[in-house]
Structures are given as structure tokens and as C-alpha cells.
Structure 1
Amino acid sequence: MRRRSLLLAAVPAGLVTLAGCGDGSSESSKASASPSASPSSVPPPKIVDGPLPAITAGTKFGEKPTVAKGTGEPSKNLAVRTAIAGSGRAIAENDFIVANYLGQIWATAKVFDNSYDRKAPLVMQLAQGSLIDGWRYALAGKKAGSRIEMAVPPTWGYGKAGNPDAGIKGTDTLVFVVDLVDSFNSKSSSKGKPVAQNDASLPKIGTETDGSAPSVDIQQPDPPKKLVSNYVLEGDGPEVKASQTILCQFQGLVWKKGNKGKPFVATYGTGRLSQLSLEQMQQVVKGLTDGVTGKKVGSRVLIVVPPDQGYGDNPPSGSPIKKDSTLVFTVDILAAM
């Protein structure tokens, strides 16, 4: 079971899931507690330039940094410095970020957490209640591709309670170095290369990448009997594993000739993204998990799910899905965690 980040405060907001699949929050941990967010009554911090300890090694973007011990008293305000300026999209509140980071205690330089050793960036939402407020305020407005160093006082970190599991006291100021790999919002789409759709027996899927729902054109009356999982846009990221949770845009439709886009569930245009736990989805719509597994991050995938790998004879109550329906999904795989 993967180690949950110490930064996460709660289940991220803005989740959209299929009926019965859960909320995507299954990422638990025996190694660390899930800290509470800073109280909402705490006013925004004043952001200052320092003091901040020097980054003494691993100074390039993406390299694991080594950070000196803090000297003297840290600021009571939130200290933030852009060590490397990126040129990507500016990050706003409620965006999801993909980031590598290292965190240590100011007074001792003890590293309490880092993602570099795990060789997997963390995906999280920059939202109140999702992660410590120091990150929210320090990273808002920063651009993807940037390296940010910050010193977070307890008020905007773990508060007076600290985080005993991580060895963090309620009086500790924390130093973070954060590499902002990428960011996504509700208007994000996959940006992979279009793949030819030559099979006339399958739905034709749109390749628009403006965050709107891709068009779906079902012209055949009879669906395939076996699971179909085809690239519409092929990305160049790592292949998704069945144990992961994906950050995505998706829509689901019932196979019916002439259906050109009447989904029973969708994220496109809703102002939200979805975090789908593939392990949980395996228990609900097995074909969706199987269809995503092995596909590359950054892709749009057409998945056709036959009844025996979908809802079969037990569709969700009150939904337009009938017994023994074949389902059609388009999934934009933005990130995997």
C-alpha cells in the first residue's frame, strides 16, 4: 500500500465518481497520519522573501535537493522564493498540481518527507481542506516548471498539534522545496497525438482538446461482445497501473445507435475533475478499470464495456442504464498517482 503524503489534509474536493465506486479516497497509510488542514478562521499570511536556508545540492529542477539547516529565527510570516522560474500555466486556487517535493524542519534540517525517493510526483488539489495552507498560499500564481522554496510557520502548517507521526512539533517551522511538474483544472484535456479511428463498428470520438466533452457518434446498432480499449489521443506518459488512482475527465454513455452525446455521467463542463480509484472501480465497472490499465498518462481512451464487465443485470437505481447495457466511455487520463 502506497504511503500517503503528509501534506494531505482530507479527501480533495470536487470529485466526480460513478455510482457506487466510492470517492477516490482509498489511499490510506500505516506510515503517517492524515493531518488536519489549518483552521478556516486563520487569516491569509503575509508573504515575505525570507529568510530561507540555502539549497546546497540537487539545484536543478527535478533533482532531489539538499537544504541547509535554518539559521537564526524563522519568520513568523510565510517566506517564499522562486528558485527556478517556470514557463508553464499559472496555478490558481482549486487547480490540481503534479509536484515533487522535499520537506524538512527548520531548526534541525531533519527531512520528514520527500517524493523524490518514491520516484513518483504527488498529485493534489490546491484547495482549502486538501493540504496545508502554507502550500495553498505559496503556490497560487506560480507557474508549472518552477521550483519554489518556502518556510511555513505552524499557523499555516500543522498548527499547535504538529504531526507527531512525522516528528513535527507544534512549534516547528517547516521548509519545503517544491518542483511544480504540471497543473490541471476543470478545462484540461489530454494533449496526446490523434490516433486513426478506422474501425467503422466502433463509435467515432472527437479529438478536441479545449476541455469540452469530446463528441461521440454511435452509428452501429450492435455493440462488440468483448471489451474495447483504444487510443483516441495517445500520450507519452507512463502506463497506468491497476493499483493507481487517476486524475481524469471522463464521460459515460449507453450504447445506442444514433446516440451522439447524451452521457449518464460526465465531468466535462461541470467545473470539476474526477479522481478514480481503479481498485475501487474494479468492483463496480470492471471493464473501465481494465480499459484504463496499461494506457499512457496524457491519453484519451475510448472504452466499450460489455454488460458482463459493466453493470450486467444490476444497473444503478434511477439511472438511464438498463439491464445488460453496453457502456461507452471516453477517458482523458491527466495524471496517475
Structure 2
Amino acid sequence: MRRRSLLLTVPAGLLTLAGCGDGSSDKAQPGDSPSAEASPTASAKVVDGPLPEITAGTKFGEKPTVAKGPGKPSTDLAVKTVLPGSGTSVAEGDYVQADYLGQIWDTAQVFDNSYDRGEPLVIRLQQGSVIDGWRIGLAGKKVGSRVEMAIPPALGYGSEGRPGIKGTDTMVFVIDVRDTFNGKSSAKGEEVAQSDAKLPEVGTNTDGKAPEITVPKADAPKKLVSQYILEGDGPEVKLEDKLLLQYKGVLWDGGKEFDSTYARGELAEFPLQQLIKGWQDGLTGKKVGSRVMLVVPPDLGYGDQESGAIPANSTLVFSLDILAKV
């Protein structure tokens, strides 16, 4: 079982089944901060140090070894860009994909790291989704950067602490910022030929704008269609994954749009197992970083039930950009 990161303030709520076009939320709802001490303050001060030395694993992407903190830590948030990146800047409210190691200032005891799991964390930099030290300290950093920070309890888990982290502990993190995503993100895979005139054609633009979906004037297929439009090179999606997606859905009959993350300017976090069967079957096995076109027949969608702007017995067409596993 995948180990849960300590970075979340509390477990986020999950989505209801088949949240497309039925008026339900398309993203997990953030929980409350764990204590008053951990709540953000507009006056949080960011300083350059002190910070402990990184003694080994000094390259981006390598698991670091970090010394004990030198003397007393600052009561403010200490942040340093150890290795500057040249990619997109991270903004508060964005999702960030990062590898990290966290340890205690006084003892150098490591309490969590993603390097050993071999899977980076994807988390949103917003209040209630991540500890405030990360939310404040990573804003403005560029993809490709290694960032070190020392987070006082007030910007971490407060006086309550966490298992292995006392309420008086300053936490030290080394963070490799691998990617960032927001409502203007697109998949960046290799374009795949669309040669079947009986199937919809999906745009291949990667500018963050909604791709055009052109539905042919033909009978809808009776079986599920799942095809790459842009093929990425990330890991394959598993049924138990939670995905970060950019998507658009239209009706086969008439091509009318019924749902779109592009229109909302908000990405969607979906536990795949809680979605319509067409999405479960159509996305399982596809690669992260891809744009996938799905044609979902009624029996794998909403069947004979009307759902919001989706009439009963509708065949649905989706363009889905699989940005990351969350």
C-alpha cells in the first residue's frame, strides 16, 4: 500500500461517483488546519537561514543526506534555493510535483521521504491541502529547483505535532520541484495520427486551451473507444490511482459541451474507481502525460438516467489530459 505523506493537514474528502455534469464537486474539499497554531498568517516572514548543510546526494533528484540543524532554528520560515531551476514558476494555488525529504532540526531524524518510494508527491499549494511552510515557501520557485527550508511549528503541525514530530519541533525539508500544474496546463505527449473518419477528431493544441472536439455525422459506436491523441511517457494508470486531469466532455448527438475543466479554470482530482465505468476502463493502462479520447456508450456512462446536461441514453465523447497521479 502506498504510504501517505505527512504533508497534508488532514485527509481530504473524496469525490462522489460520476461527478461529470451532475453538479457535484470535481475536486477534493480541503479540510481544516490541525490546530490554531498551524493556521496561516498574512505576516509570515521568510528568512534566508539558518539551515543545515546537505552533506550527500547534492544533485537534483538524488536522495539528500542532511546534517543536524546548527544551533537554534529561526522562529520564522527559513527558505533557500539550493539549486536554481529554469522552468515554470510555481504559484500559490497551483499543484506541485516534487520529491522531498523531511527531518527534525535537533536530531536529523528523517520522518518522511519520497525518494525511497520512487514516486513524487503531487499536492496543491493552498490552505488546508498542505502545511503552510510549503504553501508559502514554494510559491515563486521554478521547476527544476532544489529548495531547502526550515519550518517552525506554527507553519507546520502546530503544538499538536504528528507521530514522530513533537509540537516544538522545527522541520527541515529538502524539496526537488519536478513540475507544476494549474488550470492552463496541457498534456505534452507525442501526437498520434487520427485516421478513422467514423470517430471524433480531437485537437492537439498544448497551450492550455480546450481542444476542439469534432463529432462525425455517423452512428455512435456501441462499444467503448479509448485512443491516444497525444501519447505521454509517464507511468501507466492503474484503477486504484487518483488522477489530476484537464478534460472536456461533449455529447455525440450534436456535439454540445456538457462539462469542462477549461471553462472553470480548475483542474480536477479524480479517484478513478469512483467514476463512470467508461472512464475506469478507458483510462486504465494509459500513460501519464497523455491526451486520451474516450467515446463512452450509455451502458458505461449514465445509462437511461438523465444527469444534469446529459440526456438519458447519451453517448459521451471526452478529451482527457492525464497530467499526473496524485
Instruction: Find the counterpart in structure 2 of residue 231 from structure 1.
Output: 228
Classify 1:155/1:333 alpha carbon distance in 2 versus 1 (closer, same or farther; 3 Å). same
Q: How far 1:43 sits from its partner (Å)? A: 3.4
- What is the TM-score of this pair, normalised by structure 1? 0.89
Shift of 1:297: 1.0
Q: Partners in 2 of 1:202 and 1:23 — Cα distance? A: 27
Q: Per-residue displacement from partner, 1:193-251 (whole Å, max 9, x unpaired)?
A: 21110000101111111111110111233111111100111111111111111111011
1:182 corresponds to = 179
Among 302, 311, 315, the alignment partner of 2:306 is: 315
Across the aligned residues of Structure 1 and Structure 2, the Cα RMSD in angstroms comes to 2.2
Kept in 1, the 8 Å contact 2:122–2:324? The answer is: yes
Distance apart, 1:65 and its partner CA: 0.8
Report whether the alignment pairs 1:271 with 2:265: yes
1:330 to 300, 319, 322: 319
The alpha carbon displacement at 1:295 in A equals 1.0
Q: Distance in 2 between matches of 1:327 and 1:37?
A: 46
Specify the SS of the correspondent of 2:227.
Answer: strand
Distance 2:73 2:54 in 1: 16
Structure-1 residue corresponding to 2:293: 302
Counterpart of 2:123 in structure 1 is: 124
Cα shift readout 1:302-332 (whole Å, capped 9, x = no counterpart): 001111111112232xx22222211111101
Q: How big is the shift at 1:94? A: 0.4
Equivalent residues of 1:44, 1:137 under 8 A apart? no
Offset, 1:3: 2.4
Q: CA deviation at 1:36?
A: 5.8
TM-score, structure 2 normalization: 0.92
What residue in structure 2 maps to residue 6 of structure 1?
6
Work out which of the residue numbers 281, 289, 295 in structure 1 matches 2:280: 289
Which residue of the partner structure matches residue 41 of structure 2? 42
Which consecutive unaligned segments of at least 5 residues does structure 2 have? none
Deviant stretches of 4+, over 4 Å:
10-13, 20-26, 34-41
Q: Distance in 2 between matches of 1:272 and 1:186?
A: 5
Structure 2 Cα separation of the partners of residues 12 and 216 of structure 1: 33
Q: CA deviation at 1:71?
A: 2.3
Change (3 A) 1:69 1:244: same
| Helix, strand or coil at the partner of 2:73 | coil
Q: How does 1:181-220 map to 2 (within 5 A)?
A: 181-220=178-217
| Separation in structure 2 between the aligned mates of residue 11 and residue 93 of structure 1, nearest angstrom | 20
How many corresponding residue pairs? 319
**What's the secondary structure of 2:75's corresponding residue?**
coil
Please state if 1:159 is matched with 2:153.
no
- The one-letter amino acid of 2:303's match is G
Distance in 2 between residues matched to 1:82 and 1:265, nearest whole Å? 40
| Contact 1:37/1:133 (<8 A) preserved | no
* Unaligned segments of structure 1, at least 5 residues: 27-33
SS state of the match for residue 264, structure 1?
strand
Quote the offset at 1:97 in angstroms: 0.4
SS of the equivalent of 2:96 reads strand
Q: SS of the counterpart of 1:268?
A: helix
User: In the TM superposition, what is the alpha-carbon distance from 1:39 to its structure 2 partner?
Assistant: 4.8
Identity rate of aligned residues, in percent?
61
Three-state SS of the structure 2 residue aligned to 1:329 is: strand
